[in-house]
Amino acid sequence: MKKVSTIFLFVVFSLFSRAEEGMLIPTLLGAFESDMKAMGMKISAEDIYDANNASIKDAIMHFGGGCTSEIISDQGLLLTNHHCGFSQIYSHTTIENNIAKFGFWAKSLNEELKNPGLTATRMVRIEDVTTLVNAGVDDLEGSAANQKIMENIALIKANALDGTHYEAEIKPFDFGNSYFLLIKETFRDVRLVGTPPKTVGKFGGDTDNWVWPRHTGDFAVFRIYADENNIPADYNESNKPYTPIHHLPISLKPREVDEFTMVFGFPGTTNQHTISTELDYIINTIRPAQIDMRDLSLSVINAAMKKSEATEIMYASKQARIANAWKKWMGQIDGLKRGNAVQKKIDYEDKYTETAATSEEWNAEYGEIVKTLRDLSATFNESDFTYNMYIEYVYVGAEMFHRARAIDELMELYQEEKYVELEAAIEEQKAGLNTFYSQYDINIDKEVFLLQSEYYKKALNEKYLPNALLHSDLNKLQNDIYTKSFLVDELRYKKVLNNFTKYAKKKINKDPGYNLFNQLNEVFTEKLLGDLRMYYGSRNQLMKPYVKGKYEMYPEAKHWANANSTLRVTYGKLEGSTPRDGMKYTPHTTLDGVIEKYNTGHEDFDLLPRMLELYEAKNYGGYDQDGELWVCFTGSNHTTGGNSGSPVINGEGHLIGVNFDRSWESTMSDYMFDASRCRNISVDIRYVLWMIDIYGEAPHLVEEMTIVR
């Protein structure tokens, strides 16, 4: 029987009866070049990815580690989504200078705004190092095999980086069936150049999020700076705009339905191999509870933001982070149920087991995997549910827990007698303390805490509840924490930091907020962590041969590695969809639709007067198509979180849009892609340029770009 490594090249040549599904590793694009050209691509695979020469991949940047961005000028101008730059935009926003509300466009380099901690990372090259990683591993098992793999990885990285300023990472693909070396260059001086007003960048708010038709101008503009040698450097006034290896030309040509589209970016996570019993539990138990928890926090935050502009500025970024997954999960449940995803999984898994039985060798290797995976998830689903609820409560819920986690880090250093590290950590916390509390409202936090505590207490098995929740009156617990705990007050928190050794001996452990956090952590460590390690560890070990079996037994089927925040390509067409009976989605929206939504009077569709004035004058600045100003369009490209900000590129290698979302029906694609209904949503680049040039009156930025008319 052939091993995965020996059949892999055959597999990539035989994939994809439909092009849209899958997130392709750029080094393998040569196998898909003929298919891409048949769909309308005019450039070559090497034009997209070339490790030794300038190519499109050199214009694609990992933005802040969580989004994608693209370079659009020879002076390092960087384009991404408004929601990707949301926290940076709001960090520069005040009541007196509300750039989030009214927009901002730097008129010169001197006006561009620094963003400490923000990075943009270029992929220098990608290499398949599977053979090198597995060298000497065949005769080893368990921890010895893992140790050898780690040693091999360390050596490969060291050799790859010798004499360079680059970074290296080696990631497993297909649960360790293959490994790729990623050589990266990270820029640490990324400045805000411009943003449209919130009424454009977040037009539609939570009402329109994850749905079509969409009319959101979801973009923001940054610039990469480097030192005098064009090398990444920390922020310095003497740094200069980065001169890129490649930047994307921008196409103003008319769009056509069914024209070729390619999305190039850093998709975060997909779970296409999730077993049926686990997916069923996710759909019917985990996701509904997560949605409920976020419903509670959003009910408090949204109400407070409506009452005060200062609160809106304080909580806008936090609200967006909470609400984004909240609404996505609703669409995901709906799409997976409508698509009968669990039954399709069951059918596939049963067929997999039947196919394995046709060969003695296959049966020995793959015959019991499906049953074992199903039994495993059935055994540990409750533990997985509890863990996800713990994350919602302690990491997404009340911000009091954020300060508790920060104190806990100091307590660990104190107990381990690492006093030098402790002093440095205390000073670091002092430096960031005002930033936290200036964006914190105790009244919001206490209400979120109470509502989520009540739900958490009801949702979890009692054995996973700490005594402070199980046996306490929650109203009294809330009052004790928010009147007595130093965690919720900047002055008291600072006093603890200034006298940490004194307080660490007894008083910190008696603090009601930290005490609750401690109890939650004890439950997690003593009653949950072991089960999670068993579950996730066993699942990953089983997934490796399960996926290997797919490649071996179905060599002509569609196979692609799960997204894992590495550079990927997906290609499809500019097209609409018919997601359900009686509903047909057109492939684009226009400024007319923006005005129609504004006229409903809904607060999520508010506009500033300038938009109405330009619309009435039909001042489209030549960025229209047949008298219409396109705002957004959909494509059949397979995207997920992390693809936010990714360029949408046409067949000539030119930028035509910026990906920012999926339709409501498409959020299922993290688990199962349906080419008939799954669509990515992008803002048309002509709308972006119109906003910069005409609306924002910043034509000097457009003059930097390479425009293809």
- CA–CA separation, 337 and 582 (whole Å): 18
Q: Exposed, middle or buried by CB within 10 Å (0-12, 13-18, 19+), for 163?
A: exposed
Would residue 677 be called left, alpha or beta, if left means φ above 0 and alpha means ψ between -120 and 50 degrees? alpha
From the list 218, 670, 674, 693, the catalytic residue is: 218
The H or E element spanning position 579 is strand 577-580
Q: Which DSSP letter does residue 237 get? A: T
Tokens of 637: 């490209």
* 408 a catalytic residue: no
Instruction: Give the angle subtended at the CA of 667 by the CAs of 662 and 672, to the nearest 5°.
Output: 125
* 8 Å CB contact between 62 and 204: no
As a three-state string, the secondary structure of 342-397 is HHHHHHHHHHHHHHHCCCHHHHHHHCCHHHHHHHHHHHHHHHHHHHHHHHHHHHHC
* 69 a catalytic residue: no
Cα–Cα separations (whole angstroms), residue 482 to 88, 307, 396, 452, 496? 30, 22, 18, 15, 17
* 8 Å CB contact between 705 and 78: no
* 8 Å CB contact between 575 and 634: yes
Q: What count of Cα atoms within 13 Å lies in the side-chain half-sphere of residue 490?
A: 13
The H or E element spanning position 537 is helix 529-553
Listed residue (106, 253, 123, 68) closest to 682, CA to CA: 68
From the list 644, 646, 663, 682, the catalytic residue is: 644
CA dihedral 267→657→184→135, nearest 10 degrees, is 40
Q: What percent helix, strand, coil does the chain show, rounded to 5?
A: 50, 15, 30
CA 145 to chain centre: 32
Listed residue (341, 388, 348, 342) closest to 665, CA to CA: 341
* 55 a catalytic residue: no
* 8 Å CB contact between 386 and 286: no
- CA–CA separation, 346 and 16 (whole Å): 22
* 8 Å CB contact between 223 and 112: yes
Q: How many CB atoms lie within 10 A of CB 117?
A: 10
- CA–CA separation, 278 and 342 (whole Å): 9
The span from the first CA to the last CA of the chain, in angstroms, equals: 55
Cα–Cα separations (whole angstroms), residue 651 to 203, 260, 302, 587? 30, 6, 43, 18
From the list 62, 82, 83, 654, the catalytic residue is: 83
Residue identified by tokens 């130093």 is: 486
Would residue 136 be called left, alpha or beta, if left means φ above 0 and alpha means ψ between -120 and 50 degrees? left
Residues involved in catalysis:
83, 218, 644
